[in-house]
């Protein structure tokens, strides 16, 4: 489950990670009321579970009530990578310190904005911490050499000595190191004790008065740990009210769905195959619009529900159905796909690949119904390439 920024900051606060004062708003007048309560200047921030908000115009500085009204009115209802903004976070603006050693291409001192995160490195079977002295909106273009990484054995945990060495390797300025130590240790506790799949701060900043603050929060909670966290239900309620309408629709229909920013809709059976499908679409130059796992069965009703969710995403230009029949036979899967297609008016063509039990029979059924709206291909790679090609048209 992906949290919005304000939810991530609320989660951070439980572990002692310092954040700026702020409040949520669902209307222009609520935004003004929050700004008046907090005190100017403030930052008006779109709340959606996707990146690129700043570049899309979803984050604006405001010095007066009129400026808050103007920005809030423009941001509410904005479409950011397929996510409609229905909620704002109004935050007290922070004065960020300037570096004495790092300069931009114009010779101006860079802001002391850093990047920090914890996630899982599955290949190493260890936690992975990443820390960079170069944070902010251009983090994706930061050279790998400027990102200090640390692998942490889950049994041993992260010690303060290891954390200090990690901070030194990232070359954080001396003025930020003690504060960063405290925040990183707290972020590690948030990641482990809070059952996160990802806990990320970008940017983590050094303020002009010497404090370390988390100015943003990206948190993904591990769905497998729900039973340990009854308090997570508040996040689910908020997601339905103000989050990704695609994910709300999928949850309503009992589907394992995560909305992404691309144009190739993905349906697969099994989490492993769904992740592999997302990966191969990326590898052949495409952009997945979602992760959707329909589980072990692929009945007509399941397919109708899955295609309904994919079809509701206006960014989807092609749909890649990637199925491996195990206990469920491929001929049954194929009949389910055809029945689902007959019950839904699709906005995008389907590329289907099925393999496994009774694959030949299933392929024959799909081939008999092939058209511009349904293309059957025998292997995963060629199907992914075709789906990406169709999405580009």
Q: Which residues are catalytic?
A: 115, 200
- The candidate with the shortest Cα–Cα distance to 151, out of 160, 135, 162, is 162
Neighbours of 177 (CB within 10 A): 15
CA torsion sign for 275, 235, 3, 249 is positive
Residue 145: Cβ-neighbour burial (10 angstroms; 0-12, 13-18, 19+):
exposed
CB 180, CB 167: distance < 8 Å? yes
Distance in angstroms (rounded) separating the CA atoms of residues 164 and 178: 9
For every residue of 221-259, DSSP letters joined together read E-GGGGGG-GGGHHHHHHHHHHS-HHHHHHHHTT-EEEE
Helix and strand tally (H, E) in the chain? 12, 20
Q: Residue 175: helix, strand or coil by DSSP?
A: helix
Those residues whose C-beta lies under 8 Å from the C-beta of residue 302, and which sit 6 or more positions away, are: 294, 295, 336
């Amino acid at each position: 489950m992906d949290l919005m920024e304000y939810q991530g900051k609320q989660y951070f606060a439980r572990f002692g990670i310092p954040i700026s004062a702020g409040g949520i708003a669902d209307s222009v007048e609520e935004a003004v009321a929050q700004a008046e309560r907090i005190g100017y200047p403030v930052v008006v921030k779109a709340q959606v579970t996707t990146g690129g908000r700043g570049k899309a115009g979803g984050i604006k500085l405001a010095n007066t009530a009129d400026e808050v009204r103007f920005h809030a009115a423009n941001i509410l209802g904005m479409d950011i990578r397929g996510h409609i903004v229905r909620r704002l976070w109004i935050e007290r603006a922070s004065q960020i310190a300037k570096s004495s050693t790092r300069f931009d291409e114009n010779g101006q001192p860079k802001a002391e904005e850093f990047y920090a995160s914890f996630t899982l490195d599955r290949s190493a079977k260890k936690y992975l911490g990443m820390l960079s002295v170069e944070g902010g909106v251009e983090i994706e273009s930061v050279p790998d050499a400027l990102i200090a990484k640390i692998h942490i054995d889950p049994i041993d945990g992260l010690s303060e000595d290891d954390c200090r060495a990690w901070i030194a390797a990232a070359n954080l300025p001396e003025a930020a190191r003690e504060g960063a130590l405290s925040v990183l240790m707290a972020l590690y506790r948030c990641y482990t004790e809070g059952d996160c799949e990802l806990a990320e701060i970008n940017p983590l900043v050094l303020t002009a008065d010497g404090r370390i603050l988390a100015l943003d929060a990206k948190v993904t909670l591990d769905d497998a740990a729900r039973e340990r966290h009854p308090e997570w239900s508040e996040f689910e309620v908020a997601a339905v009210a103000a989050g990704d309408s695609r994910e709300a629709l999928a949850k309503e229909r009992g589907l394992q769905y995560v909305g992404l920013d691309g144009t190739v809709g993905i349906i697969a059976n099994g989490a492993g195959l769904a992740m592999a499908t997302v990966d191969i679409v990326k590898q052949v130059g495409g952009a997945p619009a979602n992760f959707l796992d329909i589980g072990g069965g692929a009945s007509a009703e399941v397919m109708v529900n899955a295609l309904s969710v994919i079809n509701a995403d206006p960014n989807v230009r092609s749909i890649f159905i990637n199925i491996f029949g195990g206990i469920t036979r491929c001929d049954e899967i194929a009949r389910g796909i055809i029945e689902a297609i007959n019950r839904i008016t699709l906005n995008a063509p389907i590329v289907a690949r099925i393999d496994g039990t009774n694959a030949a029979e299933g392929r024959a059924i799909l081939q008999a119904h092939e058209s511009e709206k349904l293309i059957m291909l025998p292997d995963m790679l060629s199907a992914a390439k075709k789906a990406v090609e169709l999405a580009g048209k």
